[in-house]
Amino acid sequence: MLCDNCKNEKASFHSAKSINGIMKERNLCASCQAKVFPFGTQMGSFYDIFADFTNFSSPLEPAIRKEIKKCSNCTRTILEVEKSGTLGCPNCYEAFSENLMPMILRVQNSTIHRGKSPNGQQINSAANLEISRLKKELIKAVDDENFDEASIIKSKIVELERGLKTE
Amino acid sequence: MTVNRDIVVSSRVRLARNIKNLPFGMKFNKLHSDNIALDVYRNIGGERTGFGLYKPSSPESLDGTVLKEKRLISEDLLSKAPLASVILNESETVSIMIGEEDHIRIQSIEPGFNLNKSFIATDKIDNIIAKNIPLSFSEKLGYLTACPTNLGTGLRVSAMMFLPGLSIYNSLEECVQAMSRLNMAIRGVYGEGSDSSGYLYQLSNQRTLGLSEEAILEAVISSVLKIVEAEKQAREVLLNEGGATLKDKIRRALGTLLYAHKIESAEFNTTMALVKLGAYYGFFDILDSNKFEKLFIEAQPASLQSICKKKLSQQDRDIFRAKYVSDVLNSIIQINGV
Ligand SMILES: [Zn+2]
Ligand SMILES: [Zn+2]
């Protein structure tokens, strides 16, 4: 039997599981299996079952309708996201970034996290990254003698830096 | 500044967290949600630290509904029974919901105005969880949540406020608008603005992204204090203008609670609210304010049935409520003057 994914190599990994009541069968070669199980199966944690689950559809099901944007990780479409207001999985944030960012900016008035992180530290790296990006833009704007734009960029930097200090 | 429970009833802080790589929601597999619940339970120390793990058997289960009435679990979590679980501490101030819209929701409720204490409690548990369980996090967007309105910190800080003064003077609309300019939301706890709401409102932050946890906490605290000031003024005006009519209305409400033979939930909410206002004005003394505040929850349908330890028809429930409320109030209320 050939691998479902690359349709090239001989399948060495076989599994079947029921998702929403529908049995899905998989036959993968060693290298495709490694892609689907990024942590391997010997980790002994149940969390890698999730990795398996979330990646289940990505290498195996090519987007059926190209015109509707779809998350490769959970198969949710942009239409479903817009209708329900909720996302299917963490990867949806990247998959639908173009559609979500303006909405996030409107609701949250920001697109940059300034709080704690799982390693226990307050991270400002996103804000710092943005500041260094803006500083480069500022230099360019000044070089181009584009002073209106420069002053806009400068006020953005000041605001971001103020945000860092108040923490 | 001290604010007691006659304006800020309770303080609540909630953190939304999701497990790395796992799709949001918990539809797909009971085993997974149980595993997450067990894993969180084990990591925070399980029984050793005084926590218990509970699973409502169905959305209609009495135990589950009692937890909902106590606000220890959400409507959403209960609707997902028996897939969802909740981890509770002994004093019922901390609840960790597993299987809500987000996989893990850490919540702490403290009586009165004590948002700092609630925040510290949730933060501590979050640190333990983050150390042991892989969480969905992006450097740019922070904690990734099922709904973008919780994105970033995943932090919702809220105060339950008792606002009869502002409600009666129709000044709430102004407050809502002023607060929304500060990115704060005010919502009715039971049905929007209706009389049976018991004048209870929830004030909470709208933004969760782009601000640090401390900044969000401080912003909510200062907003609560503004509303407290406005409510105090409204209550003064209400007392001066209401005069004998107001006093009569409040004493009749107490009369109903003390002497009615049966009383429905909605009438209980309205009359209790007036009695609480009367106590604020000193028309009567409440000798045990904890017992008094607890009564608001105990008189809810499921909690009542859990107290009397059997399922009751609507009518029997209303009769039992009247008796129970009257007994409690009789033991803790002292009427001043005439
Ligand atoms: Zn292959
Ligand atoms: Zn997705």
CB spacing of A100 vs B148 below 8 angstroms: yes
Neighbouring CB atoms inside 10 A of B96's CB total 26
The whole-angstrom separation of Cα B172 and Cα A63 is 50
Is A36 a residue whose pLDDT tops 80? no
Output the pLDDT for position B205: 97
- Residue B302 CA to residue B320 CA, distance in Å, equals 12
State the Cα angle at A54 between A53 and A59, rounded to 5°: 100
Per-residue pLDDT tens for B291-300?
Answer: 999 999 999 9
Per-range mean pLDDT, top range of A46-55, A63-72, A139-148, B114-123: B114-123
pLDDT value of residue B300:
92
Nearest ligand to the CA of A56 is: 2
Is A71 among the domain residues?
Answer: no
pLDDT at position B148 is: 95
Distance from CA of B119 to the nearest CA of A (A): 13
| Chain B residues lying within 8 Å of A49, measured CB to CB | 32
Asked if the structure places residue A160 within a domain, the reply is: yes
Domain containing A150: what range? 125-166
Contacting residues of A for B208, CB less than 8 Å apart: 108
Q: Measured in Å, how far apart are chain B's first and last C-alpha atoms?
A: 33
* pLDDT number for residue B153: 97
- Choose the closest CB to B153 out of A115, A163, A166: A115
pLDDT value of residue A20: 44
DSSP letter, residue B107 = E
H-helix or E-strand containing A28? strand A22-28
Give the Cα separation of A101 and B260 in Å (integer). Answer: 56
Strands (E), chain B: 8-17, 51-54, 85-89, 94-98, 104-111, 137-138, 142-143, 155-162, 184-188, 200-205, 284-286, 333-335
In a domain, A158, yes or no: yes
Residues of B in contact with A24 (CB under 8 A): none
- Between CA A113 and CA B151 the distance in angstroms is 9
Is A105 domain-assigned?
no
Residue A69 Cα to ligand 2 midpoint, Å, equals: 11
- A50, A51, A126 member nearest B140 (Cβ): A126
Give me the interface pTM, i.e. the ipTM.
0.85
- CA of A166 vs chain B CAs: smallest distance (Å): 8
Please name the member of A74, A115, A163 whose beta carbon is closest to the beta carbon of B23.
A74
CA end-to-end distance (rounded Å), chain A = 58
Q: Is residue A94 part of a domain?
A: no
Residue A156 in any domain: the answer is yes
Count of domains in chain A?
1
Read off the tokens for B118: 């609630």
In angstroms, rounded to a whole number, what is the distance separating the alpha carbons of residues B329 and B324?
9
Note whether B89 contacts A: Cβ–Cβ < 8 A: no
pLDDT recorded at residue A116? 92
Pair of tokens at residue A98:
């173009």
Kindly state whether residue A35 falls inside one of the protein's structural domains: no
Res B102: pLDDT: 93
pLDDT at residue B142 in the model: 96
Q: What is the pLDDT of residue A161?
A: 76
**What is residue A137's predicted lDDT score, i.e. its pLDDT?**
85
CA B154 to CA B178: how far, in whole Å? 24
Residue A24 reports pLDDT greater than 90: no
Strand partners, B159: B11, B203
State the Cα–Cα distance between residues B225 and B223, nearest whole angstrom: 5
Inter-chain touch A86–B136, beta carbons under 8 Å: no
Residue A81 within a domain: no
Rounded-to-integer distance, Cα B331 and Cα B313, Å: 27
CA of A6 to the centre of ligand 1 (A): 4
Residues A13, A15, A21: CA angle, nearest 5 degrees: 160
Indicate whether this model's pTM tops 0.90: no
Q: Apex CA B217: angle with CA B138 and CA B231, to 5°?
A: 145
What is the whole-number distance in angstroms between the Cα of residue A131 and the centre of ligand 2?
29
Here the tokens at position B92 are 């019922």
Say whether pLDDT at A123 is over 60.
Answer: no
Q: Which residues of chain B have pLDDT under 70?
A: 1-3, 26-31, 190-196, 338
Q: Torsion angle, CA of A23/A28/A34/A35, rounded to 10 degrees?
A: -70
Residue range A78-108, pLDDT digits in tens: 988 888 888 999 999 999 999 999 999 999 9
Residue of B nearest to A51 (CA): B21
